[in-house]
């Protein structure tokens, strides 16, 4: 998994929305930050409650790094099989944004679009939503403890900005002890620089690594359950003319 990637710059409960009319049908795409499957499903339910009278509330989510498929789900919500949820998911997976969920709400306008037209409509709405979606960078942090001699403290502080590192705690006893937070991807280079700076007279230990906080691929029963859920959502729709 990449140590940093774009995610929606949206607070919990804040959504991004675009709308388009296609052959009299009103399509509304709503996107949200979905760092996990629970938040994705909660978001879908919120949109369903907001639009209970809609003809369809089709949805998809990818709750991981861009392109990762370990935590995904989708639903056609009554549209013909394969014309909404899966095309929406495909767009999310190739949109360059991680931890994102989308619901496309359709109010039928009386004109059928056909299967090809439905795929284009649902993919197109997600594409529009992604194009205007506010984004920020997700940085996976790691916290380390660094023990150095007092003679190295000034050089140590000068080194921190190079690795986007910040001191979060410090203790002074026989040696100078610092707790430092920095991007996970910078850790190896930071350690090498400290060894070079001190001539090897440094102790470095990892205190907390958010790169192992469950954001990686699902494994074991979680992966099996998610795969089964996604298949159920994909196959459990009632086909209807679109």
The structural domains of the chain, with segments of one domain joined by +, span 4-137, 140-207
Q: Is-contact 216 54, C-beta < 8 A?
A: no
Q: Is-contact 61 34, C-beta < 8 A?
A: yes
pLDDT of residue 184: 87
pLDDT of residue 101: 98
pLDDT of residue 211: 55
140-207 and 4-137 share a CATH fold: no
CATH of 140-207, one of 2.60.40.10, 3.30.70.240, 2.130.10.10, 3.40.50.720: 3.30.70.240
CA dist 129 and 30 (Å) reads: 7
CA dist 59 and 229 (Å) reads: 14
Pick from 57, 122, 40, 62: nearest CA to 88: 122
**Residue 44: partners with Cβ closer than 8 Å, 6 or more residues away:** 57, 59, 61, 75, 101, 103
pLDDT of residue 233: 41
Q: Is-contact 86 78, C-beta < 8 A?
A: no
On whether the 4-137 domain is CATH 3.40.50.10490, my answer is no
The two three-digit tokens of residue 127, written as one number: 């594409």
pLDDT of residue 224: 29
pLDDT in tens, the chain (242 residues): 456 899 999 998 999 999 999 999 999 999 999 999 999 999 999 999 999 999 999 999 999 999 999 999 999 999 999 999 999 999 999 999 999 999 999 999 999 999 999 999 999 999 999 999 999 988 888 999 999 999 999 999 999 999 999 999 999 999 999 999 998 888 999 999 999 999 999 999 998 766 554 443 332 223 323 333 344 344 333 333 34
Give alpha helix (H) positions in the chain: 37-50, 85-93, 114-132, 153-159, 187-198, 220-235
pLDDT of residue 208: 72
């Amino acid at each position: 998994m990449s140590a940093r990637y774009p995610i929606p710059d949206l607070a919990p409960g804040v959504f991004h929305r675009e709308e388009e009319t296609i052959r009299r049908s009103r399509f509304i795409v709503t996107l949200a930050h979905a760092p996990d499957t629970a938040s994705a499903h909660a978001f879908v339910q919120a949109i369903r409650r907001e639009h209970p009278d809609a003809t369809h509330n089709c949805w998809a989510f990818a709750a991981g790094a861009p392109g990762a498929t370990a935590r995904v789900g989708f639903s056609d919500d009554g549209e013909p099989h394969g014309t909404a949820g899966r095309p929406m998911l495909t767009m999310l997976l190739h949109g360059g944004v991680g931890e994102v969920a989308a619901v496309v709400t359709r109010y039928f306008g009386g004109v059928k679009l056909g299967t090809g037209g439905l795929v284009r409509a649902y993919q197109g709405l997600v594409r529009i939503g992604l194009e205007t979606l506010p984004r920020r960078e997700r940085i996976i942090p790691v916290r380390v403890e660094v023990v150095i001699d007092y003679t190295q403290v000034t050089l140590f502080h000068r080194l921190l900005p190079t690795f986007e590192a910040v001191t979060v705690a410090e203790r002074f006893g026989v040696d100078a002890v610092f707790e430092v937070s920095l991007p996970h991807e910078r850790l190896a280079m930071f350690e090498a620089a400290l060894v070079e700076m001190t001539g090897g007279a440094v102790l470095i230990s990892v205190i907390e690594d958010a790169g192992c906080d469950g954001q990686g691929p699902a494994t074991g029963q979680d992966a099996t359950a998610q795969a089964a859920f996604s298949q159920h959502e994909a196959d459990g729709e009632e086909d209807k003319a679109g």
